[in-house]
Structure 1
Amino acid sequence: MKNSFKLILIPVLLLAAGFNSCSTSSTEGDKSKDSLEAYVSERLPIYAKVKLTTDIQKLTENQRQVLPLLIQAAQVMDELFWAQAYPQRDSLLATIKDEKTKEFVLVNYGPWDKLNGNKPFVYGIGPKPEGSGFYPADMTKEELEKSDIKDKRSLYSMVRRDSAGKLYTIPYHIYFKDGLKKASDLLKKAAELSDEPQLKNYLSLRAEALVTDNYNPSDYAWMDMKDNGLDIIIGPIENYEDALLNARAAFESYVLVKDREWSQRLEKYVGMMPELQRGLPVDSKYKNETPGTGSQLAAFDVVYYAGDGNSGGKTIAVNLPNDEVIQQKKGTRRSQLKNAMRAKFDKIMIPISEELIDKGQQQHLNFDAFFANVMFHEVAHGLGIKSTITGKGFVREALQEQSSWLEEGKADILGLYMVSSLLKKGELTGDIKDYYTTFMAGILRSVRFGASESHGKANMLCFNFFNEKGAFERTAEGRYKVNYEKFASAMNELSSKILKLQGDGDKSAVEKVQQEMALIHPELQSDLDKLGKKGIPVDVVFEQGIDVLGLK
């Protein structure tokens, strides 16, 4: 897609970001280049290709007119995320002759392998800057802290140097003005066409948010949507890409079509949040907040991923908004991406379980349990504590770059706690063995994302903690067998540990846990390597868009 704003934006970013460039001049370099091309040939197949579709016959004529506009707006987020992650995309691709390497660059939104600790795979490219493209590449965290910049940890600004080398910031709505204007206009047009009142209101407010950086009104409007058949998550949202400060938000989008039948099955769980909060296995001071009951659970077919959400590993559920004040007032919306979830279950989870789960327990792996575990992971983000009990402010502020991975670990383990509690109450059906076995297989799936990524770190913490507690054993056949009684007690112990770490806001303690527990040991790595040799995918890439859907 050609965008007028890209031609203006990229040259500015190239000078400002100071990213490494490619060089392939020497004979020694050619050998290195050959080895990197061989690496790419091995790594590219870890992504299974999946077509993103939905039953368009269920769409109204009006929705068929609105949906392409939403996809076009999402495509703009793709361009903006490139400008944050690796702004010189076009010049990089122009230097690469190997087609597989080009394809891998597009999958990773840059020359670093996101599912292998951001390993460079293009010759001449050095380590990925921790701050990605949000900051000057030579800037340190200490330099920023000592500067007189007021919005050091702003969600919505880029940090740059002036001609004298002094740091300053530029708000997103100015820095990315042309692209945001284009996306805003598309959302306005979609709002004008839409015959769904709540969606119309949200799209209008979101269009305004993109060009002002004031996202709260549209977030509240998004939380109030109940009856919409279409949805779009769009804008600067998650801060995982900013590994330096875990502060600045990256552009992304998901275009969604609601699955009304499955959504109706999920609605009843939101009202149970306060009761589940009171039952958390931790001292009362770590659970004295009351979670919002305005939260919504809904299932969707996702028909387009863009930007940060499409980079490297693909999410199969979304829990937003991230703003703690909105969460405390309104809760969150948990969107389950059912078609993407099914694709990962069929193409990845089942093959993994056939290789690594004890043969006698493979019968307990099923999609309904996988769906529930993922769903309650997202719901569990709303449980626990958002503000520290030690006067250090919000947990995210206190833990800084350590906050995201620990929050994902909390959601993993409290999601499983919710499943266990709801089964005991008779509010959820099934055998607890199904949920625990599927959770174990889910850990083995997710740790393949690598321990450098937030979800990977979270899964490794869970794996290593459960291993210490004897919640599973590795059999002589090299398969993992769940001890169901110990699994339950380990779940409660880890829940308490994480909630205390968050409530205390002790960053150094969290760093210690990460260094000791959020890592992959050689035995597990050898098992994961076995999966790769069997050709089992790690994740998925999508064939997506208006043409794939059969829309014009």
Structure 2
Amino acid sequence: MASLTNHFTNIINRYAPISLGADLSNFTRNERVALSKLVDAGKLIERIYLRQKWKGNEALHNQLLNSNPRDEKALLVFNLLKGPWDRVDGLVFPNFPNTPPHKPQGGNFYPEDMTKEEFESWVKTLPEEQQRKAKGFYHVVRRREEDDVDGKKGELYLKPYSEEYKDLLSEASELLKESSKLVDDKSLSTFLRTRADSFLSNEYLDSEVDWLKISKESRIEVTVGPYEVYTDELFSIKSAFEFYIHARDFPFSKTLEKFSSSLQEVEDSLPVPDEYKSKDLKATPIIVVDQLFAAGDVAVPMTAAYNLPNDEEAIKRGGSKLVIIKNVQEGSFQNLDLLSSNPNLYYRELSLGKYQKILDPIAHSVIAPDQLQYLSFDAFFTHVLLHEVAHSNGPHYTIGPNPVTVRSRLQEYHSAIEEAKADITGLYAAAHLLKIGLLTAPSIEQFYVTYLASAFRSIRFGIKEAHGLGQCIQLNYIISQGGFAYDPATSRFNVNFSSIASAVSNLTREILMMQGDGDKNRVKEFIDKYGGIKKEVEETLERLEGEGIPIDVRPLYEISQELMKYES
């Protein structure tokens, strides 16, 4: 028992606590009531996601909640990971019966005994509309177990999310409707109402467009619904429920508006033939927010920004929206000088974000000392922004006759190669925007060095995870092109400023063309070639672990205390 407790302590220590909240004094009383109802809806979304990740997740969670005495460390680890598996260590709850050593590849979107071949053969027998749903975001696949006969498995069938999670979605729908009547902003009210309807109808397209239309004047930003496909490691097609409540940062959002108009400019400059470029990209709204609460598909490492929706039909109809979560990246203070005068060291620590707690110490361990002068929070923040914008760049459908989604062609390789695409295209975009003068700072040297340090931050998430694998691919490729170099005498990495630009351009071209061609075998070969951890990288990762540098941050939400303050 003591060794298991120590194991949980070690996992918790990998994620530095960060206090997340915002000043709610300018919110109306009705808006604060709405926030309380939205938090309750988020807790329901959390339960839906636990079901989606693994069929035994809820039972394990209930066991941890109701154990006497309750093991608070075990419960915290479960809540951070959203299940019994760590991305690096595998199973961390070995005493729970019937728990597989690794998360089922298909989560709980498919029968655990279903093979890819069975799914693909079954889909071919379906009518066209049913095929679309089987390969779509919003239906689970189940097996008619009552038809099992003489060892022969029962047939597969589709079940919409609205039925599979009806007990929780019905209650969440009511809470969204109640909240829609309380918020001041009409566009937010419309989204909450239509998203509530989507939970019951299983039709999400209209409410996705309504989410994109939430006014720039709304004090509250809400993202709720089935979005990301990382949990489906089998095909990358089934979307998981997630939930965010944010308070909008109006001044910072205004500052970043200039990037919204640069999407087509970057697209036109991409180092690929014209047929791989989009000609009618919609300007991406960019909003900056402070996170108040999150639930569902939000396991650590914490999201610093997101670009949604992922539904290609919704993107064609309404474009996409980029949300930058400032307090996760930067911490609670815009002016970090304030920290030096705060005598409460613990509070100061809780006020620091990803950059100060994670990236800065990694850089000082990994980067050649003479290049540390180029480490920059602004470069980190701006590249996160450009990464999310770059998800909109490049082909989303295959090139040539009878185009289909890139996602459907690349399947289990899509998430990792898409994350690599966004990272490297974002870095390419930074150089281009500096060249044409739309960006004047940070310098390109700051972008490159900060990007190199951040590569180790992402790889520490584990290469079984899309962001970690995507970053590993980039690091190995750029090293092979001479853009990055390792000095065995100092055990440090550095940027070769004479070679890095061509390496970035070459990798951007390779990935975009692989996506446009939709050649799954070629992508697999590429990932096999560049997706492994080299000896010098492994030794560096071990050093970071030995130095006790956290992998990421973990949230301590202040919203309950903030709401209570205004009720009293």
Identity over aligned pairs, percent = 36
Instruction: Note the C-alpha offset of 1:208.
Output: 0.7
Amino acid at match of 1:65: V
Deviation at 1:186, TM superposition (A): 0.9
Q: For residues 439 and 184 of structure 2, what CA distance do their matches in structure 1 show? A: 36
| Alignment partner, residue 313 of structure 1 | 301
Q: Does 2:13 match 1:45?
A: yes
Give the aligned partner of residue 369 of structure 2.
359
Contact preservation (8 Å) 2:50, 2:57: yes
Q: Which residue of 1 aligns with 2:94?
A: 122
Aligned positions of 1:401-440 closer than 5 A: 401-430=412-441, 431-440=443-452
Q: Write the distance in 2 (CA, Å) between the matches of 1:277 and 1:117.
A: 39
Question: Which of these residues, 246, 249, 257, is aligned with residue 259 of structure 1?
Answer: 249
> 2:213 maps to what in 1?
224
The answer for the alignment partner of 1:158 in structure 2 is 140
TM-score, normalized by length of structure 2? 0.87
Look up the match of 2:502. Answer: 489
1:233 and 2:237 are equivalent in the alignment: no
Distance 1:372 1:401, change over 3 A: same
Tell me the matched-pair count.
Answer: 517
- 1:46-79 CA deviation, whole Å, 9 max, x = no partner? 1111121112234344432322222221121101
Choose the corresponding residue for 2:282, options 283, 288, 292. 292
Take 1:386 and 1:47, find their aligned partners in 2: how far apart are those partners?
34
Match of 1:397 in 2: 408
Residues 278 and 413 of structure 1: CA distance in aligned 2, closer, same or farther (over 3 Å): same
Query: Normalising to structure 1: TM-score of the pair?
Result: 0.89
Shift of the 480–500 alpha-carbon distance from structure 1 to 2, 3 Å rule, reads: same
SS class of match (2:394): coil
Structure 1 runs of 4+ aligned residues shifted over 6 Å read none
Match of 1:72 among 37, 40, 43: 40
Q: Which residue of 1 aligns with 2:463?
A: 451
How far residue 504 of structure 1 moved from its aligned partner, in angstroms, is: 0.5
CA contact (8 A) 1:39 1:121 kept: no
User: What is the alpha-carbon distance in structure 1 between the residues aligned to residue 553 and residue 406 of structure 2?
Assistant: 32
Aligned 8 A contact 1:113 1:121 in 2:
no
Q: Shift in Å at residue 395 of structure 1?
A: 1.1
Cα displacement (A) at 1:525 = 1.4
Contact 2:53 2:108 in 1 (8 A): yes
Work out whether residues 145 and 152 of structure 1, in 8 Å CA contact, stay in contact via their aligned partners in 2: no
Contact 2:244 2:294 in 1 (8 A): yes
Secondary structure in structure 2 of the residue aligned to 1:193: coil
Deviations 1:60-108 (A, max 9, x none): 4443232222222112110110111134345435378755333322221
- Retained in 1: the 8 A contact 2:135–2:408? no
* CA deviation vs aligned residue, 1:336-361 (integer Å, no higher than 9, x gap): 00001111111101111111112122
Corresponding residue SS for 2:532: coil
In structure 1, stretches of 5+ residues that fail to align are 1-32
Q: How does 1:522-541 map to 2 (within 5 A)?
A: 522-541=535-554
Give the counterpart letter for 2:264 in structure 1. Answer: P
Q: Is the 8 A contact 1:352 1:531 kept in 2?
A: yes
User: Of residues 363, 381, 394 in structure 1, which corresponds to 2:391?
Assistant: 381
Confirm whether residue 249 of structure 1 aligns to residue 260 of structure 2. no
Render the CA deviation track for 1:94-123: whole Å, top value 9, x for unaligned. Answer: 378755333322221211112x16445424
| 1:205 partner letter | T
CA-based RMSD of the aligned residues comes to 1.9
8 Å contact from structure 1 (residues 436, 482) kept in 2: yes
Q: Shift in Å at residue 416 of structure 1?
A: 0.9
- For 2:287 and 2:359, locate their aligned partners in 1 and report how far apart those are by CA, in whole Å: 23
For structure 2, the residue ranges without an aligned partner over 5 or more in a row are 148-153, 331-352
Deviation (angstroms), 1:288? 4.4
- Candidates 334, 341, 349, aligned match of 2:322: 334
Deviation at 1:129, TM superposition (A): 1.2
Q: Distance in 1 between matches of 2:471 and 2:224?
A: 27
Q: 2:469 is matched by which residue type in structure 1?
A: K
Letter in 1 for 2:457: R
Structure 2 distance, partners of 1:83, 1:46, is: 26
